[in-house]
Structure 1
């Protein structure tokens, strides 16, 4: 008996909505800077995948400096990667 795996397409907005609903802390990397990323909680987004992120901390991996930014808006076209910060 052969097992058949069915592939399911997952929309990016569904993943982002999951982060928002579960109030998961995420790390967001931008396209123009490989040394800096932002950690916080997604509290809103739109159809262009612009994000409102709360309790944001900017983390510079070269200098190990962190800056608390509070609530920010990230333009979707600049976002390269979003992932949940492991629990």
Structure 2
């Protein structure tokens, strides 16, 4: 059985395009199971990897 990662990216988007690709600044990867945060800096998140967006 494959393990499933439960992760979130916490940040504010600073840009996007018509494919919902997002430029995120000061992003942090939050692991729900381990209760840890990993700083990522500025990243480009492809739109096809986005499942849900919500206000925190």
What TM-score comes out, normalization by structure 1 length?
Answer: 0.58
Residue 56 of structure 1 aligns with which residue?
Answer: 27
Residue 39 of structure 2 aligns with which residue?
Answer: 68
How many correspondences in the alignment? Answer: 53
Larger radius of gyration: 1
Structure number having the greater helix percentage: 1
Moved over 2 A (4+): none
Residue 3 of structure 1 aligns with which residue?
Answer: none
Measure how far apart 1:65 and its partner are. Answer: 1.1
Measure how far apart 1:34 and its partner are. Answer: 5.2
Instruction: Give CA-to-partner distance per residue, 1:22-43, whole Å, 9 cap, x none.
Output: xxxxxxxxxxx65101000100
Residue 13 of structure 2 aligns with which residue?
Answer: 42
Q: Which runs of 5+ in 1 are unaligned?
A: 1-32
